[in-house]
Amino acid sequence: MDSAILENPMRRIRVSKVVVNSSIGEGGVKLERAVKILEMLTGQKPSVRKAKKTIRGFGIRKGEPIAAVVTLRGMRAVEFLRKALAAVGNRLSRDNFDEYGNFAFGIKEHLEFPGTRYDPELGIIGMDIIVHLARPGLRVSTRRIKRSRIGKSHRLTREEGIEFVRNEFGAQID
């Protein structure tokens, strides 16, 4: 990359947010356990999400709580992302990245996180981790007052997102 690009603070890429989602599929005790596990891993209280519609085949009714979600920002997001990448062996696929440089991956068992021990009372849950990367100034396109467009050169690309994850987190992209 050009040194002028690296010096410009508006061109620096950062982790905007990390969303951790655990879809349990049913409410009650299982969901409460998942909420405790997510709170333990992230250090933040999860939000419980309800079903939008009834799906008879899965035994889900509209309005029934079925998932727990946590949104992390700032340093907490970066620290959690380091742990999550370590849980998948610091390896991601090129297919995990979208056209705007954001990426997502799944973890089958929360026990894969370093330093996590099995608790028979809580059980085991899996989760999806979605990471949004952005440059400063992206808010211009999403705010309510005086919304404006972002130029093509300021938007993130898949290659820039991959390069950022390689450099910042030391991940291998296959």
Domain hosting residue 90, numbered range? 3-173
Residue 4 has pLDDT above 60, yes or no: no
Residue 26 has pLDDT above 80, yes or no: yes
For every residue of 63-82, which 3-state class applies, written as one string? CCEEEEEEEECHHHHHHHHH
pLDDT tens readout for residues 83-112: 999 999 999 999 999 999 999 999 999 999
Residue 45 neighbours by CB under 8 Å, 6+ apart: 35, 39, 70
Alpha carbon of residue 78 to chain centroid: 10
Structure tokens of 173? 């992209």
Q: What is the CATH number of the domain that holds 109?
A: 3.30.1440.10
pLDDT at 59: 85
Q: For residue 84, what are the CA distances in angstroms to 37, 53, 79, 107, 129?
A: 14, 31, 9, 8, 8
The DSSP result for the chain, as a single string, is --HHHHH-GGG--EEEEEEEEEE-SS-THHHHHHHHHHHHHHSSPPEEEE-SS-BGGGTB-TT-EEEEEEEE-HHHHHHHHHHHHHHTTTEE-GGGB-TTS-EEEEES-GGGSTT----TTT----EEEEEEEE-TTGGGGT-STT--PPPGGGS--HHHHHHHHHHHH--EE-
Residue 170 has pLDDT above 90, yes or no: yes
Residue 7 has pLDDT above 90, yes or no: no
Q: Output the pTM of the full model.
A: 0.89
Domain count, the chain: 1
pLDDT at 1: 55
